[in-house]
Amino acid sequence: MKVLSKTITSLTLGLLLTLTAFASGDKNKKGHGDPVNTPEEINEYIQHHVKDSHDFHLFSYFSDGEEHHVGFPLPVILWGENGLTAFMSSAFHHDDNGKEIVEKGGSKFVRLHGKIYELEEGATEVKFDDEHHPVNASTPFDLSITKSVFGILLIGLLMLLWFGGLAKQYKTKKVPTGFGRVLEPLVLYVRDEIAKPNIGPKYRKFTGYLMTVFFFIWILNLFGLTPFGFNVTGQLAVTAALALITLVVYLFSSNGHFWSHQLWMPGVPYFLRPLLAVIELAGTLIIKPFSLMVRLFANITAGHIVVMSLIAIGITMQQQMTAVGSTLLSFVLSLFITLIEVLVAFLQAYIFTMLSALFIGMAVEEPEHH
């Protein structure tokens, strides 16, 4: 009950902070403090919310007629024309429209729609073409600690502490205590319900990887529902990296039996085998990792967009309802969907891990001898 109470409290706080951010206005559009109150502005705000960023911005508020942003900066690390350059994202002062120039390491940088550009030598402002693309700026190699990178490092550290402590308890006490008693049934669930049934006798070799993937995705999904605004598993680069790791694992673990069925499938006419080989190879090398990547990315991103869209109802319906009534409606609907997102967070981690185990099991399966 305490865990459920804390979860609901965190979700409620996150929704209230999001409502505050909508009411305060988006720092990336119009003037400071202008409200986000049209469908176009709301759509742009939501699209910005689900993207990665170089700093943490929780919410904004007004004091003495000035807008103040609550959050903290992150390190910006760039490799440009003049080599490696590093500075804090606070140097941009929340500017995201390319008007503010930051001079560091002999280079000039601007931030435009969350992306950092390096101006050409001698340029004093960004120039755009007819499609609003920069024409006098290049994209440096970005090694920055963005919000998603920070989330990955944080969750990785937490997992090391939690599961490292659980392993030590098994060595000393044999029976876990404290938070280890919460982790133990989850570990056994991944081993007995995902790894064993899908991989078979060789499950022990891959259980560590499956547990890492399951808890990594699940915890990141849950953190995405907090006021911190993480959307790590909603970034295509992250899900692509996870899918690529699974691809490497089952390719390098595969045996001759697996490849004999891929390249020269037995039991079918010979003239069909080359065609089936192409189809099987496409499924193994492209379709399987692509499905892992897109399923996780699309479901998590869609969940965030739906929650933000329901919150926006409180703004778009202020003309037809009272401010209190529209806000209450959006709050109830978004809270209900957010609670469903708690289930989706677990479900997507389970599906990714289960499919990874299934693909690995197909690759390491031994032939049956009758």
Read off the pLDDT of residues 336-361 as tens digits, 9 standing for 90 and up.
Answer: 888 888 899 999 999 999 999 999 99
- pLDDT in the model for residue 157: 96
Number of helices followed by number of strands (H, E) in the chain: 11, 9
pLDDT for res 292 = 95
Task: Tokens for 131, please give them.
Answer: 């499609």
Residue 340 and residue 225 in contact, taking contact as beta carbons nearer than 8 Å: no
Q: With contact defined as beta carbons under 8 Å apart, do 86 and 77 qualify? A: yes
pLDDT value of position 264: 87
pLDDT at 268: 84
pLDDT at 33: 45
User: CB under 8 Å to 47, separation ≥6 — which residues?
Assistant: none
Q: Amino acid identity, residue 71?
A: G
Mark the ranges of the chain whose per-residue pLDDT is less than 50.
1-4, 6-8, 13, 15-17, 20, 23-33, 370
- DSSP category for residue 283: I
CA gap 21, 62 in Å, rounded: 11
> For 233, which DSSP code?
G
pLDDT tens per residue, range 204-262: 999 999 999 999 999 999 988 876 767 899 999 999 999 999 999 999 999 888 898 88
> DSSP for 146-190?
-HHHHHHHHHHHHHHHHHHHHHHHHHHTSS--TTHHHHHHHHHHI
